[in-house]
């Protein structure tokens, strides 16, 4: 059966989501998970955009063995050279070069005529091909480019040896019928061995529909991101593309290398590390995606699941909320269960998760897979540098008292203690933490959610802090919501300490 190549750009276009920025260490964790997911190409960054992007591409290249690792560059010698240097570590490197071709971009952004654009495209394609075999070319804003000029540019770069041409709907303007026709036209006029790739943005909510229509018309590579994150309204969501191909195989009759069971885990990891939440009604991975509320639906499901269900949560690795371990389960059982959920932790990490598992089991009768995932994720996304951890806290609060908090916080071998009053218990806690860390960020968002049902559910706090122009997210989990709040706050501060030293000179200009 024919295959569709899955090109993931979570670490490049996805990272351009407002508020999402990832350290190199976080990019490596996501890249490893993308490889487990079975992604064919991982676009790891845009090395010219910042030193940190260049470093991340190089580190991802070093770590990833099965997937192709790709770096983006404008059609400029300097960009291409930096991208090539970053790719030196990769076992399977790909260079992705782009140049805008639409009239609006030619006239207002690049101030260049058609023939000049054509000349640059050919020159840079040829320059790139001299240094690396696998080169992809993207005519930016392709969907708004005159089709005959688009084809002329593509034919010219193909004659320089380029085998993958990507057709971006950069501003999310196309609709499925016209985008599909464009792909059909290009497919019919380019050599058979050229792979046509599609890259759709979601400004009109059509990124996935456009990508799938393109596939029906001959595209064989889809560029997408986990959870659909990306510039403005985002990119086509990988999980939606995959489950369309799986559920409607009768129609598409195409395969991918994606292990659908890894989708849920990848989605959670990307959301935790970027701080971009998943909307509850998001197709495939939203928390409501498999919930049936209406009585008529529930009745139908009980009689036969097929009445209202086109796919099962386990197809994407979404765990069931049922009891899996209890207070008396040992380390061995915990390790086996964690491995069964697809996590790969070392012995030290398992020890720490086991420790937290025992504490949780003291407070909570039933430990479900979702509880275990949350405990394990905390370990997985932990920042390795010496960071602040909450050792102890004490809160005084009530309707006729001024709330106050005392904290004991550890960093490396040092223990710090301090106290503060506040407008409420959480505010007092945060002010006491500020006194210890010497950082006083502004709390921009604060969200609390119960992870599992019941009165002893774990509470998950997600918050966003802003300090010195940096917006940082944090996450904390506990059966005690004040403790979860404190952990989330310290998690954000720890991330801030890692990030403030990053060189983030995002490029300006064409």
With binding defined as CB under 5 A, does residue 223 bind Zn ion?
no
What residue 265 binds from ligand KIV, Zn ion, none (CB within 5 to 8 A, per partner kind)?
none
Smallest distance from the beta carbon of 29 to ligand KIV, in angstroms?
23
| C-alpha pair distances (Å), 397 with each of 113, 275, 401, 433, 463 | 69, 30, 6, 17, 22
294 touches 240 (CB < 8 A): no
* DSSP state for residue 457 in the 8-state scheme: P
Q: Which is nearer to ligand KIV, 143 or 244 (CB)?
A: 143
Give 13 or 141: the residue with its C-beta nearer to Zn ion.
Answer: 13
> Which of Zn ion, ligand KIV, none does 98 bind, CB closer than 5 to 8 A by kind?
ligand KIV
Residues 12-71 that bind Zn ion (CB under 5 A): 13
SS3 content of the chain, % helix, strand, coil (to 5): 45, 20, 35
Q: Which does 462 bind (CB under 5 to 8 A by kind): ligand KIV, Zn ion, none?
A: none
Four-CA torsion 453, 457, 458, 460, nearest 10 degrees:
50
Query: Minimum distance from CB of 283 to Zn ion (Å)?
Result: 20
Does 169 interact with Zn ion (rule: CB under 5 A)? no
Contacts of 156 (CB under 8 A, 6+ apart): 118, 121, 122, 125
Which residue has the closest beta carbon to Zn ion?
A: 13
Q: Which H, E and C letters describe 50-97, residue by residue?
A: CHHHHHHHHHHHHHCCCCEEEEEEECCHHHHHHHHHHHHHCCCEEEEE
Question: What is the contact surface with ligand KIV in residues (CB under 6 A)?
Answer: 13, 72, 98, 138, 140, 166, 168, 170, 199, 201
To which residue do tokens 């593309």 refer?
A: 241
Return the closest-CA partner of residue 197 out of 149, 154, 257. 154
Residue 140 found at the interface with Zn ion (CB under 5 A):
no
CB of 492 to Zn ion, least distance (A): 28
Of 13 and 79, CB closest to Zn ion = 13
CB of 231 to ligand KIV, least distance (A): 7
Q: Which lies closer to ligand KIV via its Cβ, residue 52 or residue 140?
A: 140
What is the smallest separation between the CB atom of 345 and ligand KIV, expressed in angstroms? Answer: 35
Q: Which is nearer to ligand KIV, 93 or 422 (CB)?
A: 93
Q: Which of ligand KIV, Zn ion, none interacts with 74 (beta carbon under 5 to 8 A by kind)?
A: none
Contact 388, 407 (CB under 8 A): no
Structure tokens at 142: 């392709």
Task: Kindly give the pairing relationship between strand 470-478 and strand 459-467.
Answer: antiparallel
- Beta carbon nearer to Zn ion, 13 or 15: 13
| Shortest separation between residue 225's beta carbon and Zn ion, angstroms | 9
CB-CB contact of 324 with 368 (8 Å) = yes
Q: How far is the CB of 480 from Zn ion (least distance, A)?
A: 42
Closest CA to 502 of 32, 21, 60: 21
Residues engaged in binding Zn ion (CB under 5 A): 13
């Amino acid at each position: 059966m024919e295959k569709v190549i899955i090109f993931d750009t979570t670490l490049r276009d996805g990272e351009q989501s407002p508020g999402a920025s990832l350290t190199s260490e976080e990019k490596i964790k996501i890249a490893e998970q993308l490889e487990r997911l079975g992604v064919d190409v991982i676009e790891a960054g845009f090395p010219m955009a910042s030193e940190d992007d260049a470093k991340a591409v190089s580190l991802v290249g070093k770590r990833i063995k099965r997937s192709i690792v790709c770096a983006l560059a404008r059609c400029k010698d300097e960009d291409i050279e930096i991208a090539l240097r970053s790719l030196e570590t990769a076992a399977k490197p790909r260079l992705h070069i782009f140049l805008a071709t639409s009239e609006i971009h030619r006239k207002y952004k690049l101030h260049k005529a058609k023939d000049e654009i054509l000349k640059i495209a050919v020159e840079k394609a040829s320059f790139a091909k001299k240094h690396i075999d696998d080169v992809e070319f993207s005519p930016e804003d392709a969907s708004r480019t005159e089709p005959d000029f688009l084809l002329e540019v593509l034919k010219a770069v193909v004659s320089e040896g380029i085998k993958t041409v990507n057709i971006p709907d950069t501003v999310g303007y196309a609709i499925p019928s016209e985008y599909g026709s464009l792909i059909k036209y290009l497919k019919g006029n380019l050599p058979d061995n050229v792979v046509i790739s599609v890259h759709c943005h979601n400004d009109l909510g059509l990124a996935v529909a456009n990508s799938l229509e393109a596939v029906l018309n001959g595209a064989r590579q889809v560029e997408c991101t986990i959870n659909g994150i990306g510039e403005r309204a985002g990119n086509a969501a990988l999980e939606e593309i995959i489950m369309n191909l799986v559920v409607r195989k009768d129609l598409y009759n195409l395969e991918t290398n994606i292990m659908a069971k890894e989708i849920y885990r990848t989605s959670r990891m990307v959301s935790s590390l970027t701080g971009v939440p998943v909307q509850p009604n998001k197709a495939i991975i939203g928390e409501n995606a498999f919930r049936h509320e209406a009585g008529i639906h529930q009745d139908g499901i009980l009689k036969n699941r097929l009445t209202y269900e086109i796919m099962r949560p386990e197809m994407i690795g979404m765990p069931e909320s049922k009891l899996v371990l209890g207070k008396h389960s040992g380390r061995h059982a915990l390790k086996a269960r964690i491995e069964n959920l697809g996590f790969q932790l070392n012995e030290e990490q398992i020890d720490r998760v086991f420790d937290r598992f025992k504490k949780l089991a003291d407070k909570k009768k039933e430990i479900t897979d979702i509880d275990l995932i949350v405990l394990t994720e905390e370990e997985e996304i932990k920042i390795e540098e010496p960071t602040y951890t909450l050792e102890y806290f004490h809160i005084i609060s009530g309707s006729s008292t001024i709330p106050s908090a005392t904290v004991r916080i550890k960093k490396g071998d040092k223990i710090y203690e301090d106290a503060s009053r506040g407008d409420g218990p959480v505010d007092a806690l945060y002010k006491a933490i500020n006194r210890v860390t010497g950082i006083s960020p502004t709390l921009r968002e604060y969200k609390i959610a119960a992870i599992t049902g019941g009165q002893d559910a774990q509470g998950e706090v997600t918050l966003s802090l802003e300090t010195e122009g940096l917006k940082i997210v944090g996450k904390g989990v506990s059966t005690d919501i004040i403790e979860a709040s404190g952990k989330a706050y310290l998690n954000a501060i720890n991330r801030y300490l890692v990030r403030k030293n990053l060189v983030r000179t995002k490029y300006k200009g064409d």
